[in-house]
Structure 1
């Protein structure tokens, strides 16, 4: 459901009581938590009892399961309802809110409401938003900057996806998938990369790229853009920012970057680099997450902290303490000598990055990957490229498409991806039914291998199933 953004977005304190339709999602649960910590009366509903809800209930927030008009209680004039884009048009709570004349807000407006009067550091990009936002938050916390933050996944350091801090800083993930990032007016922004995606929303690659230029145009006149010079799409935004008189810091591995990562080393589950700012060597940073793409994410976060005037040593310590967020190369456990990881990667560049990380983790072992294509529209456009990216693995299992908010298309299935994988046929399997994937992975994996589940849909549940097959009766699926 796409709700219009009101011309004037009131601060959270002026929204009255606030009910969230879809409170269990990563985005809405973060907004609800911050509002509740700021003293706003919050309730919500969701059709799933997600991992984000226990922390809300600990704050006294009523989180209903299922949707029912009665969940709105006695909300009336002056009160508000924030609605997830995943809600259907016939959602009974939305219908009741309309009937009562309540203020209806999309997720973007809800987040903008809690950003009011804060210095917003927004993280945008096609890939890496959640990890970069999390790294930046960890770095600022280590530097005692005490920011408010809203992340699209659980931050391991705190066990939460959001918190209201005491300073004026607000770190936020700025999502372009539904145009939400064009609602915000940040003081500074980190742009990780710009590569065509979400064309079901934007229509064309040109429109998608233009949206990022518009986002940069929304930065505060005295603000700052940090953009990755290794990525052509992100690097192009520097000219847009300079035309507006904004300060620009380019970060990357090339000599054209203001903040560089040099001597990058990927060893096992770590990634390390030496940070060089404006030609001056600052020191070595060793991350506890594997992958060259995570080095760039960390560099963007480091740059934001440095431009805020915070000390390198404290920022580096925060980056080095970071152990990840849920569904970003998340270790699910190990059994029978086989390590199992799960990641949200659902686009060719993301797949390639996570497979590079998995290769580092596997060492002499094989990388066995299961991939669930996400969205019919995305698979139609990028399915062949997805398959090619999966060729970096040793064994590949492809499921059918997770259709999410779209209708199925018999012409767009997992076969489109599987047939494009450049491996010998015996190394690739199309297993349409997700229920059969865990057994197929176990059949293909050997001690010393890494099993990696990839996709933005329901494949995240396969890793624990693999561990259970390998070690029946194990206590709990994950190891953090």
Structure 2
């Protein structure tokens, strides 16, 4: 083991656990703690990492560097003990940058779509033989992990915009899937949110590349700013390559553009022609959802930047098996399917409902939605209501607060009171059982949100199993 010692506070989080795995793979000594037990903690223990539930401030010593995320409050006993004894402290984003220090860093940013895009890029470069390292905030199903320390030149990671910590990175290549305002509790205004992405693009190393979705108005505004006089130092302004992809016509002044021409969609796959210059490449994804064609276009361009051919990239994209909690089937009983999804922004929820409607193939779509964060619920209540009303029946349970304290007057009811097809039932598991009772053969039930709503899938399947056994003894 290395002489370096690290302790991760909140190690069970999606972002923290993958960084911990990378540190461990590098041979660095580390421990971790979290307020709750979880599958992530179990996996870390199985790797040989010492983790515990709760806090043990008495174990914090001055020679330990503390790794923390923005979800950790300053009054956390271990964090306070570290400050008291003079430990070095390091934000999760700084730890991730350290893990990627000797590689070509590829940072994937955006209000939504970054987990699927970074996971897709990791699998694509891996299957093309590049053996990249990656840190993805979800499990890449093909590898059954969200973290890998490879031997290749590239390091692929999600770049978290929620707290502006992505400004700690200096990537060689950056992908920006969209710049839809979110996390306004931190930024205060959409303008400041967009400013953070401008600053992030200017963190790219001179001579590096930015890939943006030109169907997104925020990305188009960013391109205009990056190309405007005085946007950055003349050295970087003249050397930064800006690539775009989209279904709509692109803005001017791009170094390269991938035009996406959708060709077909069914419940299990989607296809398109990707046109770059004079060359057209047919791409078929074995996952549903038209929005994934855009995610794949970003990957297509990134893999081209890495030196691979269009035809080889397309062949590998055709094998992408998805990431966990992205339209993930949890089971099917009595011709009723249960699908789990991480969607927690209104645009994501809207895309999910449309994808589910296609997958249901004439059956009804029932959804259990768990809002994530009080501030996001307050800021987007009307948009959540409109998106959820695309389903046939929706139950909204209590808000998953995560790092936030409750905001007076902000409950899930501010969503359901704006809905035509929604109802409020605070208890997650009770809501799951109500939906299971309402479901009919041919229906599709969704569990939706970034919190612990994923556990409701098992409750629904158990209730369906009891019903089937009762009806068909």
TM-score, length basis structure 2: 0.92
**Equivalent in the alignment of 1:451:** 445
Query: What is residue 63 of structure 1 aligned with on the other side?
Result: 51
The residue number in structure 2 matching 1:159 is 144
Contact residue 216 and residue 240 of structure 1 kept, 8 A:
no
Q: Which residue pairs with 2:20 in the alignment?
A: 32
Task: Calculate the aligned-residue CA RMSD, in Å.
Answer: 1.9
Cα displacement (A) at 1:276: 1.4
Q: Deviations over 1:303-326 (max 9, x none)?
A: 100122112233223322222222
For residues 359 and 64 of structure 1, what CA distance do their matches in structure 2 show?
42
Larger mean CA deviation between 21-30 and 144-153 belongs to 21-30
Q: Given that residues 12 and 38 in structure 2 are in contact (C-alpha distance below 8 angstroms), is that contact kept between their aligned partners in structure 1? A: yes
Q: Is the 8 A contact 2:267 2:288 kept in 1?
A: yes
Structure 1: gaps (5+ residues):
1-11, 475-480
State the Cα distance separating 1:351 from its structure 2 match.
Answer: 0.6
Deviation at 1:443, TM superposition (A): 2.8
**Match of residue 142 from structure 1:** 127
Tell me, in whole angstroms, the C-alpha distance in 2 between the residues paired with 1:265 and 1:67.
Answer: 52
Question: Cα distance, 1:353 vs. partner?
Answer: 0.7
What displacement does 1:278 show?
Answer: 1.7
In 1, Cα distance between equivalents of 2:137 and 2:73 = 22
* Residue of structure 2 equivalent to 1:4: none
Q: Secondary structure at the match of 1:133?
A: helix
Counterpart in 2 of 1:439?
433
1:466 is aligned to 2:460 = yes
Separation in structure 2 between the aligned mates of residue 190 and residue 62 of structure 1, nearest angstrom: 35
Aligned length: 454
CA displacement 1:248-272 (0-9 Å, x = unmatched):
1111112328112213422012122
Q: Quick one: distance in 2 between partners of 1:410 and 1:211?
A: 29
Question: What are the Cα deviations for residues 212-243 of structure 1, in whole angstroms up to 9, with x where unaligned?
Answer: 01100111110001100111111222234445
Partner of residue 309 from structure 2, selected from 308, 311, 318? 311
Contact 2:437 2:464 in 1 (8 A): no
Corresponding position of 1:477:
none
Structure-1 residue corresponding to 2:275: 276
Tell me the distance in 2 between the aligned counterparts of 1:22 and 1:410. 26
Could you tell me how far apart the structure 2 residues matched to 1:254 and 1:279 are? 17
| Correspondence for 1:76 among 62, 65, 69 | 62
Measured in 1, the distance between the counterparts of 2:434 and 2:62 equals 53
Distance 1:472 1:443, change over 3 A: closer
Secondary structure at 1:52's aligned position in 2? helix
| Partner residue, 1:6 | none
Query: Contact conserved, 1:140 with 1:147, CA < 8 A, in 2?
Result: yes
Superposed counterparts of 1:253-332, under 5 Å: 253-256=247-250, 258-282=257-281, 284-332=282-330
Conservation of the 8 A alpha-carbon contact between 1:52 and 1:160: no
CA contact (8 A) 1:42 1:61 kept: yes
Please say if residues 120 and 188 of structure 1, whose CA atoms lie closer than 8 Å, have aligned partners that are also in contact: yes
State the alpha-carbon separation in 2 of the partners of residues 256 and 249 from structure 1: 10
User: Helix, strand or coil: the match of 2:204?
Assistant: coil
Q: Deviations over 1:181-221 (max 9, x none)?
A: 11101111110001110001111111001100110011111
1:56-83 deviation per Cα after TM superposition (whole angstroms, max 9, x unaligned) = 33432212222112444xx433x31101
Cα contact 1:153–1:325 (8 A) shared by 2:
yes
Partners of 1:151 and 1:466 lie apart in 2 by 28
Counterpart pick for 1:238 among 208, 213, 223: 223
Q: Please report the TM-score for the alignment, with normalisation by the length of structure 1.
A: 0.90
Supply the distance in 2 between the matched residues of 1:62 and 1:312 (Cα, whole angstroms). 44
- Give the direction of change, closer, same or farther, for the CA distance of 1:405–1:58 in structure 2 (3 Å limit): closer
Indicate the SS of the match to 2:318: helix
User: Which whole-Å deviations, capped at 9, do the CAs of 1:335-390 have from their partners, x for residues lacking one?
Assistant: 11111111111111011111111111101111111111221111111101110111
Q: Does the 8 A contact of 2:128 with 2:316 survive in 1? A: yes
Q: Which moves more between the two structures, 289-298 or 138-147?
A: 289-298
Cα drift, residue 410 of structure 1: 4.4
* Deviation at residue 417 of structure 1 after TM alignment: 0.8
Larger deviation, residues 435-444 vs 447-456: 435-444
